[in-house]
Structure 1
Amino acid sequence: MPLAPQDPEPADSDDVVHAPLKAWSLRSAAMPWIPGSPDLVLPNLELLLRQIAKSPAIDERFQWADSGSETTVRAAVRAFGRSGLLVREASGALRLSSEAEHWLSKPDSSYLMALFHNNVRFFGELLASIQVGTTHEDLRQVAVQEFSLPWETLDQVRRRTTWFRAVGFVELWSSNELVVTDAGRAFLEQIELAVPQIIANVDGISTELAISEPGPIILREIEKLDQASLRNRKRAISYMPGGDPIDVIQQLVALAETPISREKFEQLCSQEFNIAETSAAGSLYSLRAANLLEQVGPTQFRVSEAAKEWLETDDPLDLVRLFHVSFVGVGELLTLMDDVIGAGELARRLEEEYGIERLATNEIARRLRILEAAGLVQRVTQSSYRVLPLGKAFSPTIPLLQLLQEQESHDLAEADGDVGVSERVASRLTELEHELMSSSTDVASTARFERAIAEVLAHLGFSATHIGGPGKTDVLVEAWLAPGSTRTVAVDAKTAANGSKDSLEFNVLREHRKLHKASVSVVVAPGFDGRLVNWAKEEQVVLIAARTLSQVLTLQASYPLPMSELAQIFSIDGVDALRDKWAAVKRQQDIMAEVVAALWRSANNTGHVKASGGALTARDLWLMTMNSEDAASQEEIAEVLDFLASPLISAVDVRKNESKVNAYSALSSPSTVAARLAAMHLAIRGGSRPALDSPIPELSEPQAAASRPPKRTSAPVDGPDPGAVRQWAQTQGIQVSLRGRLPSHLIEKYRRAHRDEGR
C-alpha cells in the first residue's frame, strides 16, 4: 500500500463493480480475515473500520462483536494485507481508504466484494468455479492446478467462501457442497475474471503478460547494471518477518517515510511483527541492502527515492527489480526453472551456470518468496517451484549475468581491469558489512558467520584461514608485523540471536591458542554482556563486536593504516587506540585536498599570476587556511607539498622565490592529481594497462575506422590458462573451485610467482 496516497474520490458502486480488473501480479494472494461465523463477519468489519476512523492509533484496544474477545487494532488488521480497505500513514497510524469510507456510508455487498476481487487473487474466480457438488477441496484443487496458487490447506479457500456466505452470494449445504445464489450469479455477470490458461499455463502467451515499465528512478538503477556490478551484488538478503513479503516490506518501509532512528525502527518493527529486536535489526539491514532505505545520519534512516517510486506504482515487479539490482541471482533464478525444482538444486544450478558461489538454501528461499509474491514463480510443493509465464516474460527485460561459458573468455581480462575499481570496492565493502552483521545473529548457521569473519579479515589484508567445525578454532589469522615477523591469532565466532553473548568457555579458548601457538585469542560476536567484557580482560581474551569489525572495514578502506598498525585490532582496546591513527590519516588527506585546490586556484588567478607566477609558499598556504576549523600547521603543509613535488607525483613545481624560500605552483588540476594517484594504485595492485608500443593510427586513416566498435570475437584473451592457475594453487595449498571465475587476487599471486621464477 502506498505511503499516504492522495485517494481519488470514491467511485460509485457500479463503477467499482465494472472497474477494469488489476493484473494478476498486482493482486494479493492473501485474503483478508475477520473472526467469527459468516453472520458476524460484516458487523465485525464495520466495527473495526469505525474504530480506525475514530482513532488511527494502532495500539488502541479493540473488542470483536458478540464473542467479546479483546485484541488491539494492530493485531486485528494484521491479516488485512492489500485489501484496498486501509492505508498506512508514515507515522505508522492507519486510516481508511476512500473505498472503505464509501462502503461505511453506503453498505453495499457488491461494492465490497468487487473491491476484494480487484485486490485479491482467486476471489471472483473462486465464485465462478463453483459448480454442482463443488466442495472446498475441489476449489483448492482448482486454485492449485489452474491458477498456480501454492495452497496445501483449505484456509485461504475458506476465507474467501466465508466472505461470500456473509453477503449471501454463496450457501454451504449440509452435504458440504457450496452453492452460488441468484445474487452471486448476478455479481458474476458484472465483473471481469482472470483467465486461468493465461496464469497457469507455463507455455501460454497473452496480453496479460505485458510487462510494466519501471519508473525513471528504478530504470536508472537497472541501467547501471553491467557484468561487474552484477557479479558484485550482495549475497545475503538476511531476515524478513513472515507473511506476504510484499505486504511485509511495504509495512516496514512505511515506518521510515520520515527519518527514523535505528533504535526506533527496531522497536516499531519488533512491535508490528511480534519479533525480537535482533530480528528487527536484520530486517533493517535487508531493507538497506535492497536500497529501500537509505542512511541519512549516523543512526538515522529514511525511505529511498527508488522505494518511494515503487510505493507509488504499487507494482510488485518494481520490487523485484530493486531486489535484482541489489542481490545476486534474483533474476537469474527465473532462467533455471523450466522444470519443477527445489532450492538446493537451484543453488547448484546458479553456481554451475552462472558461476555464483553456492548460496544457502534459505537465501534461495527468500528470493523465491519475492518472486512468488510477484506472480513470477509458482510453488508446486512445500519446497519446489516452477517459473510462470510472467516470469518467463519478465527475465529478458532485466540485465542478467552472462552464463559461465560466456564469462570464461572475459574473466581474466576483467579481473585486472581498471574500469569501475572504486565502484566495485564500495560494493564489495557493503556486501561484506551486510553479510557480517546479518550472519552474526544467524544461530542456525554458525559456519556462515565464521566465513564472513574470515572474508572480512582477508579483505583487511590479513592471511585468514577458515577452519571451523566442532571443537576447532573457527578462523586462524597470520598478521604481518615486519619482515620476518608475524603474529598468529586464534579467532572464534559466536552467534547470538538476541544480539549479545553472555558467556564463553575460556578454557576452550586457551586450548585453541595453545594448539596453534597463537599469541592471542579473539572472539567475534554480535555484542557482549558487560560482565563478560570484564572477565575477558582478566583472561587476556580480545572481544570484538561484529559492528566494530564492520566499522574497522569501513575506516581502513577510507583511511588505510600500515599492516603493522592495523594488527592492533587484535589487542585489548586496540580498536579504540586505532581511531586516533585513522583520524591522523584523514587529516593528512584533508590537508592534501585543500593544498591542491588552493594551488590550482592560485595558478588560475590573474592577480596571483602577475604577482608571483601563481606560486605559493607553505606560509602563504597556512595564512590562507589558518581560520578554517582544525587548521593545518606550516610543518604539515610543507610535508604535503614535498610529497606533491616528488617526480612520481609531479603535481607541483618548486622554486626559490625572491626571499630564497621554496614557492610551489600547480602543474596539474586536482582531477589530474587524483588520476595520477589512482594510476599508481592500479600499477601497485597489478592491474592491466595499455602497452606503450601499441601502434598509433596514422592521421590519414579514415575517422570512421577509428569510430567503429571492435568486432566481437571468441578468441581467448591474453592471460594465464585457468587450468594452470588451478593446478598451481593446489600445489600451494590454496583452495580454489574446480570451475567458475578465478579470483583476481589468485591470478595476481600466480603471475607474481611465475615472474619470480623468471618466466
Structure 2
Amino acid sequence: MTRHQLQRLVRAGLLSREESAFLPSTAAIAWHQSGDLAVLVAALHCNVRFVGEAMDALTSGPRTHEQLLDLAREEFNLQWDTPTPVRDRTSWLAVTGMVELFDRHVHLTDAGRGVLAGIALGRPEPDDTDTFVQLAPSVRAVASLIEQLDEAALRERADGANLYIPGTSANGGTLESLQVLVEASMPSISDAEFVRFVQSTFPKAQTVATARTAKDTLKALGLIQRTSSESWIATPAAVAWVESGEPLDLARTVHAAIAFFGEVLGELDKADRPTTGALAERSVHYLPNREKPLSRSAVNTRLNLLEACGLVTRLSQTAYRTTALGRAFMASLPCFHADDSTSRTPVNAADGPNPDSGSPSGETRQSTSQASDIATELETAARDSANPKRLEKAAVVALGYLGMPGKHVGGNGAADGHVRFGVGASSWVLAIEAKTSATGRVVDQSLFGLAEHRAEIGAQAHLLIGPGFERRMLKEADDDPRIAVIDTGLLAEVVRRQEQTPLTLTQLELLVDPALHAAARGDALRGHWEAQEIRGQLEYALVDILNVEAEDPLEEGGWLDLTSVRRELRTRGYRVGADAVVEALEFLASDRIGVLQRSEQRYRCTASVHTAGQRIRALGHQWAAAAQLHQRTRSSGEAAQT
C-alpha cells in the first residue's frame, strides 16, 4: 500500500500516525474487536464529509448518484465536478450493508436506519449573503489606526510571514492567549520576563526560541511595542481591545499591522472559494514588499484568528467561508487591492538584476512565462472546436515541458501524437487522442480504433485529453485499462505548478497512469504538491529555528539536538517524522547548500534565512548556466564536424 493510500486511511479515521509509523486507530481497533459495522460507519462519518448526511438524504426515499451529487453541491458546499466522490461513499455504505444499489438508485437499508439513529449529523449553515449586520464601533485608539490606512500605509504593513500564537486555536483559545500575553505586558515586561511567562503559561511553548517567536508575533500584530532595548509595553490599541473585550477591535488592530488579513475575507467571498493552499498562493499578490507567497502556516494563523473573531466559518479542514459579519467588517476597512498583472518575483531574486538577461533596468518579470503561455494555449485550444489540430499540438508541447518529449502526428486513421515517458529500457510510449469542445464537455465521440492506433506506433497506453467528457464517454474511457483520461484544466495546472512546485517524473506518472480514474488524478497529484510545499516550509522553518537559537544570548553556541528541533517544529504546527527532519537537515548541511553545521546529533546555523534562500536559488542558476554551456559546446562540435 502506498503512503498516499495510507494517508487517506488516516483522514478516514481508520489509521493514526505516530512519527513515521501508521497504526490502527481506536475506532478501527474497536471495530475489529467487536465486528460491529456500525462502529466502522460511525468512524467514517466522523472523519469524512457527506457519509451520514448521504444516508439521511435517503430516508425520504431512494436517490440517484446525480441527485446526491446535487445535494452535496447545493446544501453542503462540496465542490465536486463528477459523481465519483458520491459513488465512493455509497460503495463503502453498500459494503457495510447500510445501503443497497439497484435500479440506478441508492436505497437505505434497515441496518442503515438503525446506524443513522445513533450518529449526529452535520447540517449545512444557511447562506447569510443577504443578512444585514451592524458592526460594533471601534474605540478611539483603534479607530485612529484605521483612519491612517491610506495606500502607502497599506503597503508598509508587515508581511506577517512567521506568526505563532501559543495555546489552542479552538473554542476562542486564540483570543484568550493573546489577551493573556497583552495583559502580561501591562504596564511593561522585559525580554527575559516575557520568555519565562510564556514558558510557565503554555505547556507546549517551553523553549526560548518558541517564546521569542510568540513575542515577535505580538509585535507583528501591533499588540506590543518596545520601550527600551530590553523591555516591551502593550500598544494603546491592544490596551483598548483588552478593556473593551470586542473581537473586532483586535481584528482592526491586526489588519492595520499585517498584510493579507482583512483581504483574506474578500478572497474567501469569491464564487470559487479557495482552500488554504490556494490562499497561500494568492497571498503574494497582496505583499508588495515580499517576493514569494506566505506559507500555509502563516495563512492558517490568520484564518484561526479571523474565525475566533467570528469573521469566517470553517467548512472543512482546508475550506472557510466569510460570514455576514465578515462581509460587513471587510466593507468597513480600507484594503490593499491585489495586482494580478505582474509577478512580484524579480528577474534575479538572489542578486538583483541579471546582467545576462538583456534587461539592464532590472524590471520585474511579467506573469506570463513559458509555463503560463503553454498552459493558456492548452486551455484555449481545448475549446477551439473549429481547429482540433491546435489542441493536438498544444498537448504534445505541454507534455514535453513536463519531461515527456514527443511528436505531433495528426491526420485521419492515426494517433494525434505520441510522447515518451521515462528514459532507457524502462521508458514507454504514450499515444495521444485530443478532443475539443466549445461547450467544455466532449459528447458522444467514439473511442473505437484507439487500440489500432497504439499498435501502429508501439504505444503501451493512450492519453485521452480534453476539456471534459460526457458521463458515458468518461466511464467507457476510465474502464479501459489502456486509456488515461486527462482534463486539460488539470494538465494546465500541472504545467503552471511545475515552475514553482516541480514534481519528479516518477511523481508525474500519476498524470498519465491508466489505472487511475480521471476524478482521482487531481487529488493524487495534489498530495505530491502538498508534500513538496511542506518540505520547502520545513526547510525554511529549520533554518529559522536554528537562527533564533544562535542569536539567543542565553544559549551558548546555538546548537540544538534533533529532539529539541522537533519540539520547536511541533510548536509551529509541523507534524513530521524524524526521518523527514533529518533528511531536510542533512540537505541544508550539505556542501552544495552549506547553511547548517552538524556535530554528531546536534545542528546549528551558519547563515541567515536570506542567505539560505540565495544559496538554494543559486543552484538553479548554476544548472541553467551549465545547460547553456553544454548546448553551446554541442553546437560547436556539430559545426566543426560539418
TM norm structure 2: 0.42
